Structure formats: C-alpha cells, structure tokens
Amino acid sequence: MPSAGARSGDRPTGDARVLLFTGKGGVGKTTAAAATALRCADAGLRTLMLSTDPAHSLSDALDVELGPLVAPVADGLWGQQLDAQDRMEDSWAEIQRYLVEVFRWAGIDTLEAEELSVVPGLDEVFALTDIRQHADADWDVVVVDCAPTAETIRLLSLPDVLGRYMERVFPIGRQVNRVVSPVMSRLTTLPVADDDLFAATRRFYDRLAGVREVLTDGTRTSVRLVVNPERVVIAEARRTHTYLALFGYHVDAVIANRILPDDVADPWFARWKALHAQHLSAIDEDFAPVPVLRLPLQPAEPVGAEALRTVADALYGDEDPTARFGSSEPMRVRHQGSATVLEVDLPFTERDELELGRRNGELLVRVGPYRRALLLPDSLSRRSVAGARLHEGRLLVTFAAAQRPSG
C-alpha cells in the first residue's frame, strides 16, 4: 500500500482529511466507512471514526462498545458515536432559557414552552460542529458514518441555511435590542434579551462558523456515496449527488457494494449477475467522471477488525484510501468573450425541477425541495443576468459585461 497521502499532496499540512460516507439505509455505508478508517489506522495515521447516524451501527460493525466520548478501538484508531442532544444542551441552554421565559410570558405552559424552544434539526447542527472541531484537532483522518441520505442532505444543508439566517438577523437584532430594550423594560414584563444572551448567541454562531468552510473544502473533505446495484438505490444516489452538488460538497467516489463475484457460477444467480452488470454499467455512465469503486459481496457478515480489513483490501487494493479519487469544483467562473459564465454542477437535474431567482448579490437556486442562496463573487454581483440554461448536468448562468461608468 502506498504511503497515506500519496495522492493528496494538495491538502494543507496539519489539516485532517475528512471522509463522509452516506447512502440509502442498508446499502453498507457503515461497513465501507469502518473498513476505510481501519485501513487508515493500519497505515500509521491517527484516525477518528465518528457516527452521526441515530441508529449508531458503528459499534456493531467494529464489534466494540462506543459511546459519546472518544475511545480507543485499535492501534491508531479511535471511535465516537456523537450524542448531539448533549452538545445542544450544553450550547443552547442559555438561549433556550430565554425562549422559555418568552413563551411562558405568552401564556404557554412550561412543558410546551420547553418543546417550542428547540428548533427542529438544531441538535444535528452540533454534530456538525463536532466534526469541524475534530477536523481541526490533532487527527490525520476523520471518517464519518453519516445518517441515511435524506437525513444527511438535511444535515449538510444546515450550515448554509443557518449561516445566512444568522448573518442577517444577529447584527440587526442586537442593534434593535440596544435601542428598544430600555424602553421595553419600563413598559412591559416581556423578557428582554440582554448582552449575556447575545453573547451566548454569538458563541453559538462562532461554533457554526467554519463548519461549511471545512466540509466544502475539496482538498480536505470528500463525500463517498455507497450504492448497491439496484434500481431504487441508484435513483436515490442520483438525487443525493444533485443535492450535495447544490450545497457545494465534493463527491470523490461512488462505492458500488455487494456485487456478485465473478466466481459465482451457479445458474440460479445468472439473472442476478446480468442485472448487476446492467446496473453497474448505468452507475459508471451516470456518475462519470466520478470514479466508481467496486466492492464484491462478502462471503460472511463483515463484523470485527479482521473482516473489515478484508473489505478494505477488496475496496481499495493498493490505493491510498485518503486520496481524492475524483476532483472538481462544484461552482466555477469562466469568461466567454465580454460576458462571464457561472457554472454550477447540478447532475441529474431536469429543467422542470429547477427554479432560479436573483436577490441583490445572491443567486437563488431551488432544486426539488432544496433551496440555496449562492453568494455571487464581487465581479458578478453588480452585473445583470443575460441568460441561464442546463447543459450536461451543469447550470450555466451568463452575466452581461460590466457597464462602464458614463462620462
């Protein structure tokens, strides 16, 4: 096996390589992630294996007990099953107390007020901030066993959505509070936010800041999609690839798992092998140029270190598991004569799924149920849009030439 990092020399020194594994429930993403983590540790890299999947099957795959604290698993390998609820209670408590006071002032009983004070999905934000903190700590590799695809997309979209919200609301709220709170405290018993609360909110925002920067940095972080050669699984992986691209995440490989080995010659499996061949051909074609790694069906359940090492050998061969198997920038800017074209990768997107809008210096893109506000570069923010089209899995938005000042 080549030395770790042999094909990833463009990664800044001292920053952990982050590998996110996701896929439809039951496709084997936990097995692929655990095998990858063990291979990295065997190569001498300080490796941390995390699980953000509420089902937490990582312990079962590694055949060790894991909990909310980092614990040793094998030489060079540590594991943790993130308890997002504990993180949320630690970071959100002060803000939650204020919200409960407001809801109780409005006549809502204490139990219901406590439920209303927790924003849906907020606990998952703290799972993301833990990933970022680990990525910036003294690890060489952080391998993340993510939740099934729908939950993962929602999780990975949170930094973008909440970041935009905080950037707009936090400064305005604080300015208004300084003007209004002295008056409000004399006119009403409504609890008023004070500087301590805004400091707590700032701490929350600071935890969120940088998460997106780390996870969308293709030189550090890659997503690996795990699929089975089945029509329904492939269809979901296609949608996942689209939404990951929309939010700027880099998919560097697709792992086709549970492929019938060539030495299976029983006629009973002949139809299955033919179907697998068709689906594998579709995977290769659909996800190109993303490389497809093939993982044959294992003869026994891959549980425990030795079985996972066998999986890693079959999956990577002599390749470095930390390498970037495929690389591209999800958003690019190029010049076309006097005009400028913004290219956004949106693989598998149909025209009727796409909605576009413009708001000040942002391009608003909606694909299916997901919406993202793309902050335009300064060079484009003041230009008018001359046209937009979908072409071979890319959104091409053409901006007219910059107008020269008159006179």
Most confident range, picked from 38-47, 171-180, 336-345, 386-395 = 38-47
Q: What is the predicted pLDDT for the residue at 168?
A: 52
Per-residue pLDDT tens digits for 119-167: 555 556 667 778 888 988 889 999 999 877 666 676 677 666 665 555 5
Calculate the dihedral angle through the C-alpha atoms of 88, 17, 166, 101, rounding to the nearest 10 degrees: 0
Q: What is the predicted pLDDT for the residue at 228?
A: 96
Taken in order of first residue, the domains within the chain and their CATH numbers are: 1-327 (3.40.50.300), 331-399 (2.60.40.790)
**What average pLDDT score do residues 277-300 get?**
93
Among the listed residues 324, 322, 342, 323, the one whose alpha carbon sits nearest the alpha carbon of residue 332: 342
Angle between helices 29-42 and 305-316 (to 10 degrees): 90
For 120-138, the DSSP string reads TTHHHHHHHHHHHHHHTSS
Q: What is the predicted pLDDT for the residue at 85?
A: 61
Q: What is the predicted pLDDT for the residue at 402?
A: 72
Whether the Cβ atoms of residue 352 and residue 331 lie closer than 8 Å to each other? no
pTM of the model: 0.79
**Coil, strand or helix at 362:** strand
Band (pLDDT 50/70/90 cuts) for residue 367 is very high
Q: What is the predicted pLDDT for the residue at 161?
A: 60
Q: What is the predicted pLDDT for the residue at 94?
A: 60
Whether the Cβ atoms of residue 244 and residue 367 lie closer than 8 Å to each other? no
Per-residue pLDDT tens digits for 305-354: 999 999 999 999 999 999 999 987 888 888 888 889 999 999 999 999 99
Per-residue pLDDT tens digits for 199-213: 666 666 666 667 788
331-336: strand order across its sheet: 331-336, 339-345, 394-399, 385-391
Whether the Cβ atoms of residue 345 and residue 330 lie closer than 8 Å to each other? yes
Question: Which of 20-24, 35-39, 353-357, 403-407 is predicted least confidently?
Answer: 403-407
Q: What is the predicted pLDDT for the residue at 235?
A: 92
Q: How far is CA 380 from the centre of its chain?
A: 27
Most confident range, picked from 9-18, 60-69, 81-90, 230-239 = 230-239
Q: What is the predicted pLDDT for the residue at 109?
A: 67
Q: Is the pLDDT of residue 184 over 60?
A: no
For 78-136, the DSSP string reads EEEE--HHHHHHHHHHHHHHHHHHHHHHTT--HHHHHHHTS-TTHHHHHHHHHHHHHHT
Q: Is the pLDDT of residue 48 over 70?
A: yes
The residue among 225 and 118 whose pLDDT is bigger is 225
Question: Which of 165-179, 377-391, 392-406 is predicted least confidently?
Answer: 165-179
Q: What is the predicted pLDDT for the residue at 42?
A: 97
Band (pLDDT 50/70/90 cuts) for residue 188 is very low
Cα-based distances in Å from 70 to 77, 80, 85, 215: 10, 5, 16, 21
Band (pLDDT 50/70/90 cuts) for residue 11 is very low
Band (pLDDT 50/70/90 cuts) for residue 39 is very high
Per-residue pLDDT tens digits for 73-130: 999 999 998 766 665 555 566 666 656 665 566 666 666 656 555 555 555 666 777 8
Q: What is the predicted pLDDT for the residue at 192?
A: 52
Mean pLDDT of the chain: 80
